Amino acid sequence: MTFRDQDREAGPELDRGRFPVGAAITLAGLDRDPHPWLARLRAAEPVSWLPALNGWLVTRHDLAVAVMRDSVTFTVDDPRFSTARVVGPSMLSLDGAEHGRHRAPFTQGFSRGEIHARLAAFVTAEADRLVAAMRPAGAADARLSLAGPLAVAVVAEALGLGDTDPATVLDWYSAIVGSVSALAGSRGPAAAEPTGSAAAGQTGPAGAGAEGEVDAAGAVAFRMLSDRLAAVISAVDGPPSLLADAAGARGDTGTRLSTREAISNAAVLMFGGIETTEGMIGNAILYLLSHPDQLALVSADDSLVPNAVEESLRLEPAAAVVDRYATRDIRLGGAAIRRGDLVTVSLAGAGRDPAVFTNPEVFDVRRRNARANLAFAHGPHFCLGAHLARLEAQAAVRAVLRLPGLRLDPEYPSAPRGLVFRKPPSLHLLWAT
């Protein structure tokens, strides 16, 4: 008897009932502190059915890699991905040849060499400027004063929106993400093809968002953003930008993206570049300031900054999960997954897998394999903006660590929160003036 015959004879409810740990997990638990639950799942139910998600959760590193690598069996191309319904089809919501056609024109511009050549000086200067503006006060919320503004400024610069008021860019972003979130249900905001992580287009615990309309505010904001991006693309004598280069590039098929397609991809890059990069910076600063011994190592040796960022990504990826949908019945990690099921990969769970990382709960800035984290995903949807996100986080950490006597303000909570996107709700710092 084949798997498909066995599964249908037994019924999906019977198989899904074999996961008591998954059945006990609530959305609130995953939002507040998922790591104890993820450890239990990884040990006992590495692929578990979670009624709270109305889907499967994959927590083991090797199985997470397998899912993200196999875009034929585990796809993003599903109408439940709400982001595409707001901004249109993009590399975020497509697989196969169409995914490649949308992604290829952006690949060269987001390579490590191009990012460092074109944006390293801007990123460093902007991080230094933001920290200098913070310095006289002796106290600030680094999320609002550094992480968020830096992420907005850099993505605007990369896409050719540098002359647009950052507050306007942020307003567009907030309205569009709010629209996506409304379509997606209660899982939280959706974002873009990750530029700091990998979660996007989330659909809600019951696949919510397959129906409904884009709200008026989101539609207006996307139209205004589209008009501005179209002007960047069409400008003959405009400043150089990654968007203009991508829009004019011919992909592997020899064809160019249409203006509309280029705008859709730029929009999702912008969302990811803001949401996940802000979280990535905040989490890195939080982990360093929460571990004085590791902070001392990094303060004494600046070359440890990149690995400290990777280690914080391993322990607390800014995007905790990515969603896929099964295109066929398949067994994975002992679970009988059925065609059409939501399969959510826990990047946070994979980052603490003891089979890959020794003493996985320990923050160790000298960890040799910290870059084995999956915070930027894996496979065809590996984070296009990983090099840019790393550059921003490293510049922000270096700049803020120059503040004398830097420490967390104990009067404010700073533990990361979030089911999909995890970051401190605030990051209040104190330093000597």
Instruction: Give the domain CATH number at 287.
Output: 1.10.630.10
> Residue 195 belongs to what domain range?
3-430
Whether pLDDT at 147 is above 80: yes
Task: Tell me which of 35-44, 171-180, 369-378 is least confident.
Answer: 171-180
Q: Say what the pLDDT of residue 182 is.
A: 75
Query: What tens digit of pLDDT does each residue of 360-410 get?
Result: 999 999 999 999 999 999 999 999 999 999 999 999 999 999 999 999 999
**Alpha carbons within 13 A on the beta-carbon side of 429:** 34
Q: Give the predicted TM-score (pTM) of the model.
A: 0.90
Whether pLDDT at 184 is above 80: no
How far is the C-alpha of 277 from the C-alpha of 283, rounded, in Å? Answer: 10
- DSSP strand pairing (342-346 vs 55-58): parallel
Q: Domain count of the chain?
A: 1
Q: Say what the pLDDT of residue 13 is.
A: 54
Scanning 141-258, the segments in alpha helix (DSSP H) are: 142, 148-158, 166-184, 216-234, 242-248
Among 325, 349, 353, residue whose Cα is nearest residue 339 = 325
Start-to-end CA span in the chain (Å): 73
